[in-house]
Amino acid sequence: MKIGHHDLASRALLIAEIGVNHEGDFDKARELVGLAADAGADAVKFQAYYVRDIRFVSPSADPDRFGRMQKNELTWEQFHILADDAKKAGVTFLCTCFDVETVQALNDVLPAFKVASGDLTNDELLDAIAATGKPVILSTGMGSDDEVAHALEILGTDRVVVLQCTSSYPCPPEQVNLRSMTFMGTKYGVPYGYSDHTLDLSACQAAIAMGACVIEKHFTDAKEGRTFRDHALSAEVSDFKELARTTRLIETLRGVDAKAVQPAEDGARLPMRRSMAVRRDVPAGTVLTPDMLIALRPSSGWPVRDRAALVGRRLAKSLSAGDLVTADALAPKGASA
């Protein structure tokens, strides 16, 4: 499966979730794209919600949030500019769309759609995203198994990555539950990943070790001196660089689904494997019995796995205690003393 030009089967997609850490400052949003690219992100992601147009929060049911979140809005035109900035910086542009109109408005600049955990049960939005035919990154925070299954019925399973996510800000380590990630991947036959809300990098690194093909980590230029919640659980530039470094290292360490002798082991097989030797001095003409034999390093003698075939053979020459038994030390089969 590909997200833009990024093949998820080759290496994990590392997403710097800028979200609304720009806090409505378009210049800051553009700056964060460049910083994320420099930090090793494969993709940058924003959030496009429109509070003033009453497409996100009810002004009567949650007036404080309605007023507070308006300052974080960017226009569709600004997102198009950010998409161009991302392309120039060499990273994939992604954006969480929270309403059908925004899905349609940004469809031409998005190679894939991200569904936020809060919209896991929003069938109208899921239908609109499914209609684009593009890959989908599906966060499953606050979701039950049945709700995930229903969302996948709408989106299909041939182009969806499911992300384990715990919608707590921050998320305590004991509630990260990374095994949900592999559970969903196996049950639904889809690639899987992890969207992080913890305060450090450990969960992301563990998810990579468990086979995650998408990692989403909140990203900021500075945690200190900020009041918006997401900054505290975001990675700063130095943190994200470390995440990128360890992600690629862990992928290398993880290897492939096979068991084979590694090139670095070639020289170790001879000195570290064993072959058959004699426990004590044994004169020529002696018929070997089990009590005379012992397995010793190196493996240049009679193979240990063929020990049984050595019993009953007659020695053609004398061996001292600890000598390896070699083919030329044996008399031909059936030879008499």
Q: How would residue 336 be classed by pLDDT, with cut points 50, 70 and 90? A: low
| pLDDT score, position 160 | 98
- Give the pair of three-digit tokens for residue 278: 């004699």
Give the model confidence (pLDDT) of 208-226 as tens digits: 999 999 999 999 999 887 8
Q: Does the structure show a pLDDT above 90 at 333?
A: no
Contact indicator for 117, 137 with CB cutoff of 8 Å: no
Residue 284 CB contacts under 8 Å (≥ 6 apart), including other chains: 315, 316, 317, 318
* Complete domains list, the chain, with CATH: 10-254 (3.20.20.70), 269-329 (3.90.1210.10)
Mean of the pLDDT values across residues 296-308? 97
Task: With a cut of 90, say whether residue 283 has pLDDT above it.
Answer: yes
* pTM over the 0.75 mark: yes
All residues at 6 or more sequence positions from 114 whose CB lies less than 8 Å from its CB, including other chains: 45, 94, 95, 96, 97, 136, 137, 139
Helix (H, G, I), strand (E, B) or coil at 297: coil
Q: Which of 34, 9, 13 is nearest to 90 (CA)?
A: 34
State pLDDT tens for residues 180-211: 999 999 999 999 999 999 999 999 999 999 99
Q: Which pLDDT band, with edges at 50, 70 and 90, does 335 fall under?
A: low
Identify which of 160, 248, 151, 159 has the alpha carbon closest to the alpha carbon of residue 204.
248
Task: Tell how far CA 244 is from the center of its chain.
Answer: 11
